[in-house]
Amino acid sequence: MPIYALYALLFADTGLSDAQISVLFAIWSTVGVLTEVPTGAIADRFSRRGALAAAGVMQAAGYACWVLFPGFTGFAIGFVLWGIGGSLSSGSLEALLYDGLQALGEEDQYARLNARVTAVELVAQVPMALVASVLFSLGGYSLAGWVSVGTCLASAVLAMWLPEAPHSSDESEVDIGYFATLRSGLREAAASPPVRWALLAVALVYSLDAFEEYFTLLAQDWSVPTTWVPVAVVGVPLAGAAGAALAGRWSPRPVLLLAAGLLLVFAAVIAHPYGILALALFYGLYRFVLVHVEAELQHRISGSARATVTSVAGLGSELAAFLTYAAWVLDGALAVGVLVVVIGVVILRR
């Protein structure tokens, strides 16, 4: 989405302070906390493909609010809509992929396939960053916003064409309804120690993705002109794509999260445009570790409420994301880097 490379700058240029921007991100996370697991059960009970399509529509509505009502209230409403959309897609895509592979007897290929999906998603940010710069030059934030609305609606249409393997709401293959599906997923998440550990790892590591919202602000703080910010950070998603792609081929290396945290601390200390190179390396290592912990979770889930269980990890990440937001307010990228190191230690000791 073109607006994705610009929206933090939109908030700042509208006059919002760093604290207000963090409040917006906190609102986004709060909505995710409230809707994450219930929407996962919706995907399990009804249709994961339909949940993905609905997510695109909700995200489009959120961007439209930003364009039509620029200001703290409009931005907050947009984040509420986007938060609901994000919850609808969280868990649904993973379950759709894993169950599709399982139906073919190839679930051991999940890590590699998920790595490819992640890599493509991140690489797509590169042309979008260039498009964002062009759109901003031609029509400012408004044009970038409306193009993003159209892109989200197009993705919703495409989602309805995805193949979906049949799934049931419990082990007995009986349609037991929405609330029984919800209970089934929560029961597996709470009762199985291997699943609990995998959920913890995904929640902690994925919570760091909240830091991505500050990348453009970091570039601006490191003396990159606003017009060139999208281009300056274009290497960050490319590094993330490379890390994700390599994760599909190489063995897990959780210790790399510690290295990622140290790189981020270094970038924060030098506070120079060249620090974006260290930021890119940090993001590549982070994505490498994330692919592996996500794959481990999917392999450990044995019940049919897969999207619901995965959404529990999403809920945990939304709660843990408040640590990232607090770290940013405390001391910017430096504090976030220290947080990454701490999470890396926890993952190694689990």
Instruction: Provide the pLDDT for residue 336.
Output: 94
List pLDDT tens digits, range 218-244.
888 887 777 777 777 878 888 999 999
- CA 325 to CA 327: how far, in whole Å? 5
Rg (the chain; Cα; Å): 19
Calculate the dihedral angle through the C-alpha atoms of 132, 137, 143, 144, rounding to the nearest 10 degrees: 10
Predicted confidence (pLDDT) at residue 153 exceeds the cutoff of 90: yes
List pLDDT tens digits, range 25-56.
889 878 988 999 999 989 888 888 999 999 99
For the chain, domain boundaries: 2-349
pLDDT confidence bin for 251, thresholds 50/70/90: low
Instruction: Provide the pLDDT for residue 148.
Output: 93
- CA 46 to CA 89: how far, in whole Å? 13
The pTM for the full model equals: 0.79
- CA 119 to CA 10: how far, in whole Å? 27
What CATH number does the domain located at 2-349 have?
Answer: 1.20.1250.20
DSSP character for 214? Answer: G
- CA 62 to CA 75: how far, in whole Å? 8
- Contacts (Cβ under 8 Å, ≥6 apart) of 72: 16, 20, 24
Instruction: Provide the pLDDT for residue 5.
Output: 76
